[in-house]
A = this chain, B = another copy of it.
């Protein structure tokens, strides 16, 4: 089977997330890196390309050049997929140009700087037959799919209550001032957009909640905060929300929960039971019920009680931990399948978060900030989706 040729935009030396993407794409042997525009710093750019074993000619000075040059290569040589690991303000422009030049796109989130920009991108996408995916990594975990399937199959009854939380601690101090680049651009509205923590990790919590609960947030009531003098964007967000299927809930996202690592966690309660999943121990899904003892469903091949959607996202027998890179790799596998199947309906690879998740995420960020600024208790979350069939 041929490997899919991919090119990177962003991800020079020191980029944690770009390295993670390359490792995740490599894991299952479905992709090869053929080109990149890694950094505006020519030296960093060259070093990165060399270190990754690229042909020198295919380490491009910038992404515009890369898209243009690759377009002119023979179809069996040129890249097929653009992986976009730039700061937020470049997510939409790169994607737009790549799609227009005929490339599939897999982008870091959030999908754009704001909803209007993303809607414009969506119109371009809809006019193409290209695939568009977003690196909502946590939707690649097998037990997240198991949870969703349990909800859909009535395993906990009608969903009433959703509690999703994502408390990090890494912005508890002013590390941007101390030279941390990740912290720096994330607090720059021109690069990051209007949301800080709410965009960076709030969207993960939001998407996870809608994905598993199988309902959409309709309105929300948010409080945002910023805890360091001079910090421009929010570093902490809490909100109440109501969903269109009748559930209500609480979402907490914070980057000033000092000492916390990355414990994204969701609990969903229905009429007859509840589910609990925690990213730091992703192999376990707790299932509580009114009428039987607590069960702990464990990730791992060879367990007939797990659903097919979960099992196909596992590589190893139970008890051999798979983690974050494997979850991201699951998105890459689904992307590879869809690309090799010839692209696809709705511009979305089945199993890969796409434009709909992107639009709802952007609407979420804007609505949360609007709610925070408003004296009204509830602010409606409006997300104008162009007609497309659900994934």
Q: Which residues of A pack against B, CB within 8 Å? A: 1-3, 16, 19-20, 22-23, 26-29, 50-53, 156-157, 160-161, 163, 165, 167-170, 172-173, 221, 223, 225, 227, 236, 238-240, 242, 248-250, 252, 254, 256-263, 267, 269-274, 279-283, 287-290, 292-298, 300-301, 303, 305, 315-326, 374-377
18 A-B residue pairs with Cβ-Cβ distance under 8 Å, sorted by A, are: A1-B50, A26-B27, A26-B29, A169-B269, A173-B271, A173-B290, A239-B240, A250-B252, A257-B267, A258-B269, A258-B272, A258-B289, A259-B294, A260-B274, A261-B300, A293-B305, A315-B325, A322-B324
| CB pair B280 A319 closer than 8 Å | yes
Q: How far is the CB of A261 from chain B (nearest CB, A)?
A: 3
In-complex Cβ contact of A223 among B248, B252, B295 (8 A):
B248
Query: For residue A287, which residues in chain B have a CB less than 8 angstroms away from its CB?
Result: 259, 293
**A170 partner residues in chain B, CB cutoff 8 A:** 317
Copies of chain A in the complex: 4
A369, chain B: closest CB distance, angstroms = 14
Q: Give the shortest distance, in Å, between A348 (CB) and chain B (any CB).
A: 26
Distance of A175 from chain B, by nearest CB (Å): 10
Please tell me if the beta carbons of B261 and A317 are within 8 angstroms of each other in the complex: yes
Contacts of A26 in B (CB 8 A): 26-29
List B contacts of A167 (CB < 8 A).
163, 267, 269
B248 near A225: Cβ-Cβ < 8 Å: yes
Given A23-B28, A240-B238, A280-B319, check contact A227 B258 (CB 8 Å). Answer: no
